[in-house]
């Protein structure tokens, strides 16, 4: 998608970005009073799921706070490109790839071609400045009161208000290197928050260094940074690489940094708010639950506590926030930028990879689809293993491989190719490894089974796929009777209109705490009436079987491949229902995120007053 031929390449601060969004017709100002507890979230959710991602939202009158709130600023193809100063995300990826492919110059002409790139790199280096708009107002001690900030309570089941778009700055005790990451902060009281460091994040690695040394760890949090800095904090860079260098590369000019007023760290001088303080290595507190980007509530856990020593901000700051939940949401577009950014890095290590795609329904870490130029027997299997050994991609649960002539930009073609090519007996590879902390389907936290699917065409040196007879489809009455004979808990079914070799049948199963998909699977696979269907998918009774994005989301999130995929003679049953002890799952199963109906009704009754009628669901 081409966005503009005259796009601004860098924003000095969030205010400049807001102005540009408004000029482009991408900003909606909401001047009616709204609450930061659930109401802003519901309006943002409506906008995020509107066609085209709705608009960026600036809430100008937030109850109990003097500060306006910006949400959904990155939530569309156009806005994420505007944020990163590029006509397209692919153009940004090509710019990155130019640097990765640099070789030693062999001629004067080569040197001349390198000079502009070297100048770009010099422009990327962050620089120290004494001018710090983020410190126009400085609050210390008893002056600090986080309740004055319009921190969002996002979902009804959340443990409290959460800062959702923070850029958290830390520094390694051992190397002195800086890290900027994005870790949510639950507000506990006027001057403390949680610090939700996942174990695989750099901030957590640095925290362990301070724990070993029994020293307090200085931490600074910038809220409302310029778009390049915000996105760079989410990028999966190799450990030790300065995110401010990446932000400068995106901006094509340095990120101005300034020293904090109470701790020895630097922060972006143009930020809207800065929280300064420390984390005590021996102090942990229960944090959560939190309605997360998986569409489920992440569970309560013990995390470090962030104590504020200063709170600084601009004279007229804007509080930047994001809302996460069941996709599509704003973070999907941040992840799309990461996907395009990561492709050149991946290809620099594995040049045979043509493209890759993280479907939104896979919530980033649960499903990756890749196309490659296959060169030898077992090549697809090698790439699967490489993905599971590659930095943060090692947390990926399912990897699907296709040939490089299949466009990953056409999801329907991808699905048809998979269902036409795959032999369900020889092309599914189940292994074990580390998982993202937010994966709830595995029997144990942080570790479980993974699935590789080889949908590439067979190489001449590989064993041919077996030919299987395609049986005629049974009548609906025949299918219904067969299901009733197996279990009365199988009460509905749906055959997606896919004319593929492997046919899919979706089934609703009413879970009662006794019956499990695994116990039903043998009878489903042995039923003569169901033999024409290669893949039978079990879903909870509340799932609309013709809502395909919902179905794919449930499959990607609710399946532990080693436990929930049962196969026999080239056919499989996939159990994508919620799990409990009857399934051998003893961990708590998180609830789906849903808005409080009273809040939703209240906001929708005020839709005209708030100017959000265009975001309401049609029909």
pLDDT confidence bin for 33, thresholds 50/70/90: very high
Per-residue confidence (pLDDT) for residue 95, from 0 to 100: 80
pTM, entire model: 0.92
pLDDT confidence bin for 22, thresholds 50/70/90: very high
* Strand ranges in 485-601 using DSSP code E only, listed in sequence order: 490-494, 504-509, 535-540, 565-568, 571-575
Q: Looking at the predicted structure, is the pLDDT value of residue 5 above 60?
A: no
Evaluate whether 139 touches 311 at the Cβ level (below 8 Å). Answer: yes
| Helix/strand/coil for 555 | helix
Average pLDDT of the chain, as a whole number:
91
Of 407, 401, 339, 335, which Cα lies nearest the Cα of 370? 401
Evaluate whether 297 touches 333 at the Cβ level (below 8 Å). Answer: no
Distance CA 290, CA 174 (A): 33
Identified catalytic residue from 292, 436, 560, 564: 292
Sign for the pseudo-dihedral over CA of 366, 370, 375, 377: positive
How do residues 52-98 score in pLDDT, each as one tens digit?
999 999 999 999 999 999 999 999 999 999 999 999 999 888 887 77
- Quick one: angle between helices 108-124 and 243-251, nearest 10? 110
CB atoms within 10 A of CB 302: 12
Of 12, 508, 49, which Cα lies nearest the Cα of 324? 49
Percent of the chain with pLDDT over 90: 80
DSSP 107: S
Q: CATH class for domain 330-454? A: alpha beta
Count of helix runs (H) and strand runs (E) in the chain? 17, 28
The dotted CATH code for 129-320 is 2.30.110.10
Per-residue confidence (pLDDT) for residue 8, from 0 to 100: 59
Residue ranges per domain, the chain? 14-116, 129-320, 330-454, 476-583
Give mean pLDDT, residues 331-349: 89
CB atoms within 10 A of CB 469: 6
With left for phi above 0 and alpha for psi between -120 and 50, is residue 111 left, alpha or beta?
Answer: alpha
Kindly state the tokens that stand for 33: 């009073």
Instruction: Report the topology of domain 476-583.
Output: UbiD C-terminal domain-like (3.40.1670)
How do residues 241-300 score in pLDDT, each as one tens digit?
889 988 998 888 899 999 999 999 999 999 999 999 999 988 999 999 999 999 999 989
φ, ψ for residue 139, nearest 5 deg: -120, 135
Of 543, 588, 590, 593, which Cα lies nearest the Cα of 323? 593
Q: What distances in angstroms separate CA 541 from CA 113, 518, 545, one per listed residue?
A: 62, 17, 9
Q: Looking at the predicted structure, is the pLDDT value of residue 390 above 90?
A: no
pLDDT confidence bin for 601, thresholds 50/70/90: very high
Distance CA 612, CA 219 (A): 38
Greater model confidence, 609 or 130: 609
Per-residue confidence (pLDDT) for residue 114, from 0 to 100: 44
Strands 192-194, 301-313: pairing is: antiparallel
Distance CA 619, CA 615 (A): 12
Is residue 292 annotated as part of the catalytic site, yes or no? yes
Evaluate whether 339 touches 358 at the Cβ level (below 8 Å). Answer: yes
| Helix/strand/coil for 49 | coil
Per-residue confidence (pLDDT) for residue 199, from 0 to 100: 66
| Helix/strand/coil for 184 | coil
Give mean pLDDT, residues 20-47: 97
**Same topology between domain 129-320 and domain 330-454:** no
Of 555, 557, 430, 560, which Cα lies nearest the Cα of 496? 555
Name 71's Cβ contacts closer than 8 Å, sequence gap at least 6: 40, 44, 47, 56, 57, 59, 320, 321, 322, 323, 330
pLDDT confidence bin for 103, thresholds 50/70/90: very low
Distance CA 53, CA 507 (A): 31
Evaluate whether 210 touches 173 at the Cβ level (below 8 Å). Answer: yes
| Helix/strand/coil for 419 | helix
Per-residue b or e along 359-373, where b marks 16 or more CB atoms closer than 10 Å to that residue's CB = bbbbbbbbbbbbbbe
Name 379's Cβ contacts closer than 8 Å, sequence gap at least 6: 352, 372, 456, 459
pLDDT confidence bin for 200, thresholds 50/70/90: low
Per-residue confidence (pLDDT) for residue 4, from 0 to 100: 44
Give mean pLDDT, residues 317-342: 94
Evaluate whether 397 touches 430 at the Cβ level (below 8 Å). Answer: no
């Amino acid at each position: 998608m081409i966005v503009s031929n005259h796009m601004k390449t860098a924003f000095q601060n969030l205010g400049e970005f807001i102005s540009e969004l408004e000029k482009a017709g991408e900003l909606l100002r909401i001047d009616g009073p709204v609450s930061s507890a659930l109401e802003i979230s519901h309006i943002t959710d409506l906008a995020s799921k509107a066609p085209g991602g709705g608009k960026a939202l600036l809430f100008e009158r937030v109850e109990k706070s003097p500060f306006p709130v910006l949400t959904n600023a990155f939530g569309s193809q156009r806005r994420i490109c505007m944020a990163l100063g590029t006509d397209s995300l692919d153009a940004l990826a090509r710019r990155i790839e130019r640097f990765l492919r640099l070789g030693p110059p062999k001629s004067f002409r080569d040197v001349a071609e390198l000079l502009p790139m070297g100048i770009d790199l010099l422009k990327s280096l962050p620089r120290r400045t004494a001018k710090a708009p983020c410190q126009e107002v400085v609050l210390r001690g008893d002056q600090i009161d986080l309740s004055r900030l319009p921190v969002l309570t996002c979902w009804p089941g959340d443990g409290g208000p959460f800062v959702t778009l923070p850029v958290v700055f830390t520094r390694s005790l051992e190397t002195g290197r800086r890290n900027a990451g994005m870790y949510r902060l639950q507000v506990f009281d006027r001057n403390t928050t949680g610090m939700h460091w996942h174990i695989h994040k750099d901030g957590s690695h640095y925290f362990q260094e301070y724990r070993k040394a029994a020293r307090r760890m200085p931490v600074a949090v910038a809220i409302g940074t310029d778009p390049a800095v915000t996105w760079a904090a989410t990028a999966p860079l190799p450990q030790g690489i300065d995110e401010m260098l990446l932000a400068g590369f995106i901006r094509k000019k340095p990120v101005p940094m300034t020293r904090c007023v109470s701790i020895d760290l630097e922060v972006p001088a143009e930020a809207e708010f800065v929280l300064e303080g420390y984390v005590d290595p021996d102090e942990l507190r229960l944090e959560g639950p939190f309605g997360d980007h998986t569409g489920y509530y992440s569970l309560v856990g013990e995390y470090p506590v962030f104590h504020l020593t200063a709170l600084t901000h601009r004279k007229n700051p804007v509080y930047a926030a994001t809302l996460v939940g069941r996709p599509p949401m704003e973070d999907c577009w941040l992840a799309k930028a990461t996907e395009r950014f990561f492709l050149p890095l991946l290809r620099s290590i594995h040049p045979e990879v043509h493209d890759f795609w993280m479907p939104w329904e896979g919530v980033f870490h649960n499903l990756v689809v890749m196309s490659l130029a296959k060169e030898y027997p077992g090549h697809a299997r090698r790439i699967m293993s490489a993905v599971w050994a590659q930095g943060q991609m090692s947390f990926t649960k399912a990897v699907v491989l296709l040939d490089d002539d299949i466009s990953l930009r056409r999801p329907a073609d991808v699905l048809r190719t998979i269902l036409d090519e795959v032999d369900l007996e020889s092309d599914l590879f189940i292994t074990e490894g580390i998982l993202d902390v937010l994966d709830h389907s595995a029997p144990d936290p942080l570790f479980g089974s993974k699935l590789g699917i080889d949908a590439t065409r067979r190489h001449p040196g590989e064993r041919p796929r077996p030919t299987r007879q395609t049986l005629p489809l049974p009548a609906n009455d025949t299918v219904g009777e067969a299901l009733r004979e197996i279990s009365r808990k199988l009460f509905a079914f749906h055959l997606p209109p896919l004319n593929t070799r492997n046919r899919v049948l979706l089934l609703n199963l009413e879970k009662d705490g006794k019956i499990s998909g695994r116990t039903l699977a043998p009878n489903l696979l042995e039923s003569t009436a169901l033999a024409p269907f290669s893949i039978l998918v079990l879903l909870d009774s509340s799932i609309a079987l013709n809502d395909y994005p919902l179905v794919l989301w449930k499959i990607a999130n609710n399946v532990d491949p080693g436990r929930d995929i049962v196969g026999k003679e080239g056919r499989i049953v996939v159990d994508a229902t919620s799990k409990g002890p009857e399934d051998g799952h003893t961990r708590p199963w998180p609830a789906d995120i849903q808005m409080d109906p009273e809040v939703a009704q209240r906001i929708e009754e005020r839709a005209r007053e708030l100017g959000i009628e265009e975001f309401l669901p049609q029909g």
